[in-house]
Amino acid sequence: EPEVTQTPSHQVTQMGQEVILRCVPISNHLYFYWYRQILGQKVEFLVSFYNNEISEKSEIFDDQFSVERPDGSNFTLKIRSTKLEDSAMYFCATSEAGALWTQYFGPGTRLLVL
């Protein structure tokens, strides 16, 4: 069964550094999302992306965050200058055009900012 994949699985970075989290969507999926889950808390929506544009973003998704699909396969989340509070599990999810009601999640990237 096709799966969403994410790399890296774990990343440790110093505060103020830039990080790029990568996601490879299921091949025929055109809608992409990022969510995050701070340890012990709810899963929170960050951003949705379709047709090379952001469809919707939450209050969390401020100017330090950006998303792009640089090569038609990968979908990336960039955090420009990481803060301690960015430490979380970041999940990529994707859905296909004919079935937007179902999002398939990747295994997540655990980001630790020191």
Residues that bind other proteins (CB under 8 A): 31, 33, 35, 41-45, 47-48, 55-58, 89, 91, 93, 95, 100-108, 110
Beta carbon nearer to other proteins, 36 or 79: 36
Residue 60 gets which letter from DSSP? T
* Nearest to 110, CA basis, from 91, 97, 96, 94: 91
CB of 87 to other proteins, least distance (A): 14
Residue with tokens 């401020």: 62
CB of 74 to other proteins, least distance (A): 19
Contact yes or no for 97/50 (Cβ under 8 A)? no
Beta carbon nearer to other proteins, 4 or 79: 4
